[in-house]
Amino acid sequence: MNNRGIISKYRHYLPVTGKTPIVSLQEGNTPLIPASSLAQMANARGISVYLKYEGANPTGSFKDRGMTLAISKAKEAGSKAVICASTGNTSASAAAYAARAGIKCFVVLPKGAIALGKLAQAMMHGAKVIAIEGNFDQALEIVKVISSKYNVTLVNSINPYRIEGQKTGAFEIVDALGGRCPDFHFIPVGNAGNITAYWKGYKEYKRAGRILRLPRMMGWQAAMSAPIVIGKPVKNPKTIATAIKIGNPASWKSAVEARDESQGMIGTVTDKEILAAYRHLAQVEGVFCEPASAASVAGFIKLAAAKFFKQQSSLETVVVCILTGHGLKDPDRALSESVKFKTCKPAVPAVMKLMGLDGKPASRKRGS
């Protein structure tokens, strides 16, 4: 078998033993897709841009990398129940892996702020879904208290196994590039676990001698949900990218470390910029991601427009943008951001009229 999941693939880098019962859906091994239209936008010689398409994971997001390890370790410890707060993807992933492990799953969600596909997943996998009349930050505080007092394992990214599992994304990128480290790593930032995990992964690969340098970490928050950028918690975060609608990230400190140690940056992109990147990826690159994922590419486009890459001196520049979740997660947004379909009678002329054809048939096929 080629893909037995990230634990089997990278077990020497992970805190597992022969006794750890591995709960896997064969996550990881996601595509690293070249995006020539983005490279063109950078207008700089020798630049290549790749999309790490984490939507291709079993539950449609990067969360599966962390969840396979978090649930395996919970099972190893004899846990009978797990709990998480979520903007959607964590709950979908926790619900799926908990179902597979035969462990109960509780998810606490901000009511009305979860994309439809994610909610459907959590419910279908049999999680106990509790919607609070509040936001993600409040949900996280609640599950922290409950998991500290009762026998239920927290599987948010404060759980160190989540970060350990997610760092394998960095390993895969380096492996797929044939041992080359990207120069720039673009990534959306919400609760800031993933930027923390990737930075840890790159550093561990460097320590192991797999790469000689490290990338610059380029994180992106939604403009009205950008606590790390403005330097203080946001009480009432707003953005259409519901996955990253977070005002007080759990991994704030380690995200800042990743930024500073790598000489990178964490910046903001507006909802308008996020949606433009979201449509561009779908309509020009053929890659369908959810809006929060497009924040990484929105950041890239913003810097490209500011001639940032032209100023880089190196002759060959490799950029990787992480697309954290699948486009099908948020069907409502996809429908509202695309051209409406038309309806007509079930007849050839009616359909042709809507196709914009004038009704004259093209020349007949020869020789038949």
Q: Does 188 bind ligand AN7 (CB under 6 A)?
A: yes
Judge whether 139 and 158 are in contact, CB under 8 Å: no
Site for ligand AN7, residues 55 to 74, rule: CB under 6 A:
61
Binder of ligand AN7 out of 23, 189, 297, 320 (CB under 6 A): 189
Residue 90 or 248: which CB sits closer to ligand AN7? 90
Q: Does 256 bind ligand AN7 (CB under 6 A)?
A: no
Which stretches of the chain are DSSP H helices?
A: 6-9, 36-42, 63-76, 89-101, 116-124, 136-149, 160-166, 168-176, 193-207, 227-230, 252-261, 271-280, 294-305, 331-336, 348-355
The crossing angle, in degrees rounded to 10, of helices 63-76 and 89-101 is 40
Residue 44 or 71: which CB sits closer to ligand AN7? 71
Site string (261-300) toward ligand AN7, x via CB under 6 A: -----------------------------x-xx-------
DSSP 196-248: HHHHHHHHHHHHTTS-SS-PEEEEEEETTS-HHHHTS--SS---S-GGG--SS
Q: Does 248 bind ligand AN7 (CB under 6 A)?
A: no
Site for ligand AN7, residues 86 to 105, rule: CB under 6 A:
86-90
Give min distance, CB of 18 to ligand AN7, in A.
Answer: 30
Residue 47 or 319: which CB sits closer to ligand AN7? 319
Q: Does 244 bind ligand AN7 (CB under 6 A)?
A: yes
Backbone angles phi, psi at 64, to 5 degrees: -60, -30
Give min distance, CB of 90 to ligand AN7, in A.
Answer: 3
Burial of 130 (C-beta count, 10 Å sphere; 0-12/13-18/19+): middle
**Paired residues of 187 in beta bridges:** 219
Site for ligand AN7, residues 194 to 223, rule: CB under 6 A:
194
Site for ligand AN7, residues 318 to 347, rule: CB under 6 A:
324-325
Give min distance, CB of 324 to ligand AN7, in A.
Answer: 3
| 9 token code pair | 């693939």
Binder of ligand AN7 out of 67, 243, 274, 298 (CB under 6 A): 243
d(CA 185, CA 322): 8
d(CA 358, CA 15): 65
Backbone angles phi, psi at 216, to 5 degrees: -90, 130
Give min distance, CB of 322 to ligand AN7, in A.
Answer: 8
Residue 23 or 140: which CB sits closer to ligand AN7? 140
Residue 47 or 249: which CB sits closer to ligand AN7? 249
Q: Does 121 bind ligand AN7 (CB under 6 A)?
A: no
CB atoms near residue 216 (< 10 Å): 18
What does the longest C-alpha to C-alpha distance in the chain come to? 79
Q: Does 227 bind ligand AN7 (CB under 6 A)?
A: no
Interface region with ligand AN7, contact rule CB under 6 A, candidates 41-49, 188-196, 302-310, 345-353: 188-196
- Of 69, 57, 55, residue with least CA distance to 17: 69
Give min distance, CB of 352 to ligand AN7, in A.
Answer: 40
Residue 157 or 239: which CB sits closer to ligand AN7? 157
- Of 44, 46, 35, 55, residue with least CA distance to 297: 35
Q: Measured on CA atoms in the order 291, 113, 257, 156, is the torsion positive or negative?
A: negative
Q: Does 192 bind ligand AN7 (CB under 6 A)?
A: yes
Residue 302 DSSP SS3: helix
Interface region with ligand AN7, contact rule CB under 6 A, candidates 11-19, 172-180, 189-197, 263-271: 189-197
Q: Which residues bind ligand AN7 (CB under 6 A)?
A: 61, 86-90, 157, 188-194, 243-244, 290, 292-293, 324-325
